[in-house]
Structure 1
Amino acid sequence: MACGLVSMTLRGLVSVVILLWTVTSTDGGDIHVTCLFSEDCVLACSFQPGSELVIHWLKPEDKDLNVHSYYYSTDQLEQQSQRYRGRTALFNDQIPKGNASLLLRGLTLQDQGRYKCYTSTIKDHKESFINMAVEAPVRLVDIQLSDDIITCNSTGIYPEPKLTWSTDPPSDLSFDPGTIQNSTSTKVDDGGLYDITSTKQFIRDRTNICNVTSGTVERTATLKQQDPVQGSPSSEVSIPCSVSQSDLKTFNLTWRFNQIDTILNSTYTKGTSQMYIDDQWKEQVQNLSDSGSLQLHKLTMVYQGIYSCELSTARDSHLVLTYLEITPDKPSDGTNFRWTESRFNHWYNNSSSSSSDYSSSDMSPAER
């Protein structure tokens, strides 16, 4: 396996190409390379230096399609396939040293297949073969909740992905006639990449987990609902973000109001954090604790609603929903607020609807 940063010179211009690829080979056999969709990739080829050099890069499975040619000490692209125009280059300064490697830019799925590197000098000639696979790994899994239905989706994936649901702790509602069963669908975009979407019944007392896998790459998104939090205009309120951060070195933490307005965004890198608070929330945000809890004060009724904490890493994302109820400092009737699940549903569904359907108390502080 090879993975690294390669610096190279093309016709006197220095450029840096970032490669994320894997290479396997057997003695005397084809080399197998896996590269990333839309990125650049180098197909390695070497020869014994000599005069009267000829280099041909061909694609045998496409009737020896001309990918790139070099002779008379310069590139010869008159016969190059239109598919590869403007996307190939040799490392010209390295050719006298026996390097005939090909740089292929902006990979598509059509570029997959077997390539032949033919080199010839006055002394010798050589053929070598490279099998190149192109992958578009799972990068982001999005998870959302609306009307007790949880939706998980991911886009731009190759090869075809698989999506699975689970909960923590485990649950089995397969025998409940009122349960909405999982529904998963995939579609292929114009570039041949897969989009996958799945919906299921939201299980309130558990963490709902969605896993999307393609090849050897797996990404996970989770969603759970916390107990409600109560506050008043004169009180300070702490809304917890109950996602473990103890073993994380690099992650991003975002707090949102009613899933629309960003309150703050904090990026953590190896113990160092950078936080941005939206201007509309600077007066209300008192602090962000080390555990990720959002501490607020100076609250009025417009700040009543759903607060979401989203923690994201390169591999996973975790979404936690908490309902905040704002009550008067001195209730006129002397009654206390009592939480009900139906009240949460009412507020959550309002916050998930379009802004044009909001009542004044549903609107964001910016809208007011």
Structure 2
Amino acid sequence: MFTTMFQLIRNLILLGLLELTVGDETVTCFYSKECVLPCQSSYHDVIHWHNGPWIAHSFYNGADQLAHQNASYKGRTALFTDQISTGNISLILRGVRIEDSGKYKCYSSISSHSNEAFVNVNVKAPIQSVDIKFTDKTITCSTNKIYPKQTISWNIDGSPKEENSEDNQHLFSLTSSLPIQPDQKNLSYICYFRSGDGQVTYRASLMQDKTKINSGETATIRCPDSQGETGHFNLILTFDDSSEVLSYNGQTSLPIDKKWKDADVKLTPEGKITLHNLDSAKHAGIYTCERKTAQSRQIMRTSVQFNSGKTEFLWKYFFHD
């Protein structure tokens, strides 16, 4: 019985009386980038790509036929025209938009046969960067231009105030502000961005430190450690949030030695930054060491202060060899 039914279906397909339908594929496309919707068929005289009721792209009579193309796809679609004859009728979609999500139908035919395949397109705009900073009485974590919307949580208990908005491109901006007490500013604060299924997609951390030295001495600046991330990372040290002291792209050989404002700066293979021959007039201030990967941003802010001349004199008098 089964064999007879299989033969009947096969004969109907061969006679062109039954369309051949292929199982769905799923593709993730990234906002503003180029994406390829895969489709293969040996029938390629007529090709239509649909997203629901809208025509995304048509090809027949040996050329693109875009008179009935939906306006939202204008100038953004193409086929691999040099590969159609070998069966590649995949759709190239450029400048991907959030509204490009959907179930696409790839229809192809010749005079007596046709083929349909379906591609489910999910569009994402992943987090590119997160801003984390202290204000007077809060610590704030924020990002923008992401999709779909995510949630923010903290490693510290509290009642954060959350704000989110959606722009005309359907991209979301998220902000979470956590109240803190003055004596809590030396804690390590971490905010987590989570997708709808609870998975952490990005983490940002901020910690403050301080050190006090005498003029001419060496200061060690702490940088964030790896939290188990893999892959490429960047490290940058700035002074008072503006002047770059040192940068490292995760691939340059270590150690790194350089001059900065007459001070000797060194980044060791262990990830420590030392500043030698510091002068209170030029080098007192806030040093920010930032470690960044594709899924994280970690910031350590160190206040370098200098002892007064009197304190420095007494230190040298009593403790000098």
Distance 1:43 1:56 in 2: 13
Work out the CA distance in 2 between the residues paired with 1:103 and 1:326.
60
Partner Cα separation in structure 1 for residue 227 and residue 270 of structure 2: 7
Please say if residues 256 and 267 of structure 2, whose CA atoms lie closer than 8 Å, have aligned partners that are also in contact. no
Query: Within 5 Å, which residues of 2 pair with 1:17-36?
Result: 28-36=22-30
**Contact 1:268/1:274 (8 A) holds in 2:** no
SS in 1 for 2:92: strand
5+ unaligned residues in a row in structure 2: which ranges? 1-20, 317-321
How do 1:324-363 and structure 2 match up within 5 A? 324-328=304-308, 330-331=310-311, 334=314
TM-score for the superposition, normalised by structure 1: 0.71
Match of 1:94 among 75, 80, 83: 83
Which of 252, 257, 270 aligns to 1:291? It is 270
**1:273 Cα deviation from its structure 2 partner:** 5.2
Q: Secondary structure at the match of 2:249?
A: strand
Aligned match for 2:191, one of 180, 185, 210: 210
Secondary structure of the residue that 1:268 maps to in structure 2? coil
Once residues 273 and 78 of structure 1 are traced to their aligned partners in structure 2, the CA distance between those partners, rounded to angstroms, is 59
Amino acid at match of 1:284: A
CA distance in 2, matches of 1:247, 1:74: 48
Question: Based on CA coordinates, which of the two structures has the bigger radius of gyration?
Answer: 2
Partner of 1:304: 284
Residue pair 1:58, 1:117 contacting (<8 A) in 2 also: yes
Q: Are the equivalent residues in 2 in contact too, given 1:59–1:67 (CA < 8 A)?
A: yes
Considering Cα pairs closer than 8 Å and 6+ residues apart, tell me whether 1 or 2 has the greater RCO.
2
CA distance, structure 2, for counterparts of residue 86 and residue 217 of structure 1: 36
Where 2:72 maps in the other structure, the secondary structure is helix
Structure 1 unaligned spans of 5+: 1-26, 175-180, 337-368
Quote the Cα distance in structure 1 between the aligned partners of 2:50 and 2:25.
Answer: 15
- 1:76-155 alignment runs, 5 A limit: 76-155=65-144
Deviation at 1:146, TM superposition (A): 2.5
For residue 237 of structure 1, the aligned residue among 210, 214, 219 is: 219
Residues 286, 102 of structure 1: alpha-carbon distance in 2 compared, 3 angstrom cutoff: closer
Q: TM-score, normalised by structure 2?
A: 0.81
| SS of corresponding position for 1:95 | helix
Percent identity between the aligned chains? Answer: 34
Shift of 1:90: 0.7
Instruction: Write the letter of the residue equivalent to 1:211.
Output: Y
Residue of structure 1 in register with 2:303 after alignment:
323
CA positional deviation for 1:223 = 1.1
1:67 aligns to 2:56 (yes or no): yes
1:182 aligns with 2:149: no
CA RMSD after TM alignment: 2.8
State the one-letter code of the partner of 1:115. Y
Say which of 249, 255, 277 aligns to 1:267.
Answer: 249
- Residue 334 of structure 1, CA deviation: 4.9
- Which of 236, 242, 248 is 1:254 aligned to? 236
For these two proteins, the number of residue pairs brought into alignment is 290
Q: Distance between the aligned counterparts of 1:125 and 1:246, measured in 2?
A: 51
Judged with a 3 Å threshold, the aligned counterparts in structure 2 of structure 1 residues 65 and 274 are, in CA distance, closer, same or farther, namely farther
Shift of 1:304: 1.5
Give how far 1:96 is off.
Answer: 0.9
Bigger shift: residues 189-198 or 72-81 = 72-81
Amino acid at match of 1:204: K
CA 1:246/1:183 → structure 2, altered by over 3 Å: closer, same or farther?
closer
Amino acid at match of 1:317: R
